[in-house]
Amino acid sequence: MALKGYTKQKNKTNSPYYLENILETNEHPEDHKEYVMFHGTTKEATELIKKNGFTPSREELGPGVYVSRDIGKAIQYPLGVSNNKRRVLKVKVDVGKVKIIDQQNHPMQETWHTEHGYDTAWVPPGVSMVLSNQQGNCVYDPKRIKVMQVMKVKENNISRHRHLQSGVSPEDSHVYVMYHGTSKQIAVDIQRNGFKPSKDGMLGAGVYLSRDIRKAIKYPIGADDSDRMVLKVKVDVGKVKIIDVQGHDRQYDWHTYGYDTAWVPPGVGMVPSNQQENCVYDPKRIKVMALLKVAILKKLNPSLEVES
């Protein structure tokens, strides 16, 4: 018998070619779209959710189910509970019609659904309504939420879903998902023998990676999509140095000062695309999760074709 509100991942969502629709922290959710979010709860409550679906609670946005785009926030809940008793639910949310609540005591803060017909309320980050000052989402109807996966709060589980937002600095000693664009031939060689660091580059020696698959699919520059591949990797960043200006004192020798990864934030004019960049000195910190053909990626994820 199928569990209410709980769906096993289908072949599509289990495929590495399926790109989950995870929004940037400050990105407004579009009406009537589906997004991947997370919900932190207890082991016992998880079993009830699997059997009966979510039960709405009443917090700062009124009645509804509270979910987050950030797994780092979800793993902190419930407060005061040890990690071995916590569970994180990875969910797919049909947000319906969305209302932005961008200030405390907003006129529609608790009436966005009951009086105005919205399905989801969204609090942007930095408006001081959420204790962590992060964004928050409240979905009125639990039927709009489908559980995709239940995870124990362990690093090897969480790191698979820890996709850093483009402007957020990586934390020391954390593991993150990133991407590396290359040719078919080199991709196969990397899978067999591991990454070979570039001897030089914008940040000196190391392996260059991006958090944004839209950047990775453009490489190698000038190659046809039929010869391009993207490696989805898991990176233990170790100690991170931020390089935020061209000509930075540590731009090329950050590793000799004990750093494992160099990170260029977006918008500082060091990368031609003005996106962020990561350079990892030791290839052993990088584990290949999947080899993805760019042509198939674009076919199954049309938004990549538009934005690349």
Instruction: With a cut of 60, say whether residue 63 has pLDDT above it.
Output: yes
d(CA 301, CA 179): 16
Which pair of structure tokens corresponds to residue 223?
A: 């190659």
In the chain, where does the domain assigned CATH 3.90.228.10 lie? 11-156, 168-307
Strand-strand pairing, 261-264 and 277-280: antiparallel
User: How much of the chain, in percent, has pLDDT values that exceed 70?
Assistant: 83
Classify domain 11-156 by CATH architecture: Alpha-Beta Complex (3.90)
Q: Indicate the fold that domain 168-307 takes in CATH.
A: Phosphoenolpyruvate Carboxykinase; domain 3 (3.90.228)
pLDDT, one tens digit per residue, over 247-281 is: 999 999 999 999 999 999 887 888 877 778 899 99
Q: How much is the pLDDT for 14? A: 56
The mean predicted confidence, pLDDT, of the chain is: 85
In this prediction, residues 9-37 reach a mean pLDDT of 68
Give me the mean pLDDT over the 19-37 stretch. 74
Closest CA to 100 of 59, 68, 61, 58: 61
**What is the chain's Cα-based Rg?**
21
Instruction: Write out pLDDT tens, residues 93-147.
Output: 999 999 999 999 999 999 999 999 999 999 987 777 766 667 789 999 999 999 9
Which tokens is 110 given?
């608790």
Average confidence (pLDDT) over 56-76: 90
Cα 138 to Cα 43, 116, 202, 304: the distances in Å are 21, 15, 42, 29
Residue for token digits 């109807």?
141
pTM for the full predicted model: 0.61
**For residue 8, pLDDT beyond 60:** no
Are the CB atoms for 259 and 243 separated by under 8 Å? no
- Res 108: pLDDT: 97
